[in-house]
Structure 1
Amino acid sequence: MSQYDDVWLVIPAYNEGQVIADVVEGARKTFPNIVVVDDGSSDNSAEHIATTGAHLVRHPVNLGQGAALQTGLKYALAQPGARYFATFDADGQHQTPDVEKMVQVLRDDEADVVLGSRFIEQNGQVPWIKRVVLRTAASVSPTARKLKLTDSHNGLRVLSRKAAEQLNITMNGMAHASEIVGFLAGSGLRVTEVPVDILYTEYSRAKGQSLINGVNIIFDITMRERSR
């Protein structure tokens, strides 16, 4: 038995065969319940995931991170005893001690949703281009400002069952992050941020958002807000 038997990590994965087994095996040392959604990978990700003891769900084609998260959350919600749900990246950037800290905030009934922030405590780990894009994304989004978020596009989140049951991600690609913030702003759920440490390895930097994708994120936020 583990003190985290009621926690499920949801990991979307697309062509992460180089690192996914290490990421999952490392996370399972603390969190025994993990579902990895292989989002139509063309590499050997699924084979590596199958060796870890995690639950594996596969999309036959690549649908995008938003769709993979929704699939994973739906799967985790159906598991007996599941109370808390963490979205966790497949590339090794996220750290399990941060998830432990975030889960405790929910256990203490201080929030319904806990979002990880790279900017509450300035540790110098965020590459400067990414820092500019992410801070701009938070500042231009009225919904992020309503929630007083410092980091609106961090993939590390922990949701209570109440919040996870209400969330319905319809934006399949990276725009899902803006959709989640918009949902939270109008949901009435209690939302808070906590500082987290992101590990930017050479691999994760190569897999991360490019500058042009960052511009697209900001454009997406602007268009979504105007359409409300």
Structure 2
Amino acid sequence: MKLAIVLPAYNEEEMIFEVVKSIPKKLPGISQIKTIVVDDGSQDRTAQLARQAGAKVLRHIINLGVGSAYKTGLQYAKNQRYDIVATMDADGQHSPNDLKKIIKPIVGNKADVVIGTRMKNPQAMPVIKILGNWIMNCITYLFSGIWTTDSQSGFRAYNKKALSLIRPKTSGYEICTEMFSEIKKYDLRFSEIPIKVIYTKHSRSKGQSIANAVNIITNLLKRNL
């Protein structure tokens, strides 16, 4: 089976080289691994450093939003006929060592979509992020009918069936919630796997704010009207 690892990135020159280099070269049940960095209009050396680290780089000329970056990466992997696509944050928050766990249910044909959840062991998460995540989980449930412990996790994996069916429309962080609506719509098998989270000064400066949460809700309402 062929695995593509998609990393949406915006101004991530501080971490992108290290993150790409840390991706495993071999995983059980996988014959080929390719790292794909989607540079979402970065104004720094993100694309250059990602290429130097060995990644395939897809570039947006301007910043279109993390949702658009996900869509670009997923569509590329679909066109290249990868069997599994995993998505990870480019800021070093996710441990590449967890890739083995994330793809295992798909390799074993036990799930179509796997979410890496930070909430099974949330001690490392700032309290404000735990609270914000719980609020977004409730919002995700209202829009999708699926309860998840970590609706905003960017560490996910999809099989070919899921890739062929899921068609997200949003362009921002709301894509994380929208994906659950697609999972529900197509009755896809869904699994959660506990993951390690690595919070550095850099990764703490990233992620969602209260303003982002308001935008997510507004855009989800527009999508569903």
Corresponding residue number in structure 1 for 2:208: 209
Corresponding residue number in structure 2 for 1:118: 118
Corresponding residue number in structure 2 for 1:17: 13
Aligned counterparts of 1:117 and 1:56: Cα–Cα separation in 2? 27
Identity of aligned residues (%): 35
Corresponding residue number in structure 2 for 1:26: 22
**Letter in structure 2 aligned against 1:178:** T
> Offset at 1:79?
2.3
Q: Taking structure 2 as the reference length, what is the TM-score of the superposition?
A: 0.89
Aligned counterparts of 1:30 and 1:49: Cα–Cα separation in 2? 19
Question: 2:37 aligns to what SS in structure 1?
Answer: strand
> Offset at 1:182?
1.2
Corresponding residue number in structure 1 for 2:42: 41
**Letter in structure 2 aligned against 1:102:** I
Aligned counterparts of 2:156 and 2:12: Cα–Cα separation in 1? 20
Question: 2:171 aligns to what SS in structure 1?
Answer: coil
Post-superposition, which runs of at least 4 consecutive aligned residues in structure 1 deviate over 6 A?
Answer: none
What does the per-residue CA deviation read over 1:116-151, in whole Å, with 9 as the maximum and x for residues that have no partner? 1111x2340111001001011112333577333111
Checking the alignment, whether the CA contact within 8 Å between 1:130 and 1:211 is kept in structure 2 is no
| Count of equivalent residues | 220
Checking the alignment, whether the CA contact within 8 Å between 1:67 and 1:169 is kept in structure 2 is no
Question: 1:33 aligns to what SS in structure 2?
Answer: strand
Aligned counterparts of 2:135 and 2:84: Cα–Cα separation in 1? 30
Corresponding residue number in structure 2 for 1:149: 148
Checking the alignment, whether the CA contact within 8 Å between 2:117 and 2:150 is kept in structure 1 is yes
Aligned counterparts of 1:57 and 1:208: Cα–Cα separation in 2? 22
What does the per-residue CA deviation read over 1:4-47, in whole Å, with 9 as the maximum and x for residues that have no partner? x6111011111101110111111154574111111111111111
Alpha-carbon RMSD: 2.0
- Could you tell me which runs of 5 or more consecutive residues in structure 2 were left unpaired when the two chains were aligned: 28-32
> Offset at 1:50?
1.5
**Letter in structure 2 aligned against 1:153:** Q
Corresponding residue number in structure 2 for 1:94: 94
Question: 1:27 aligns to what SS in structure 2?
Answer: coil
Corresponding residue number in structure 1 for 2:71: 70
**Letter in structure 1 aligned against 2:9:** A
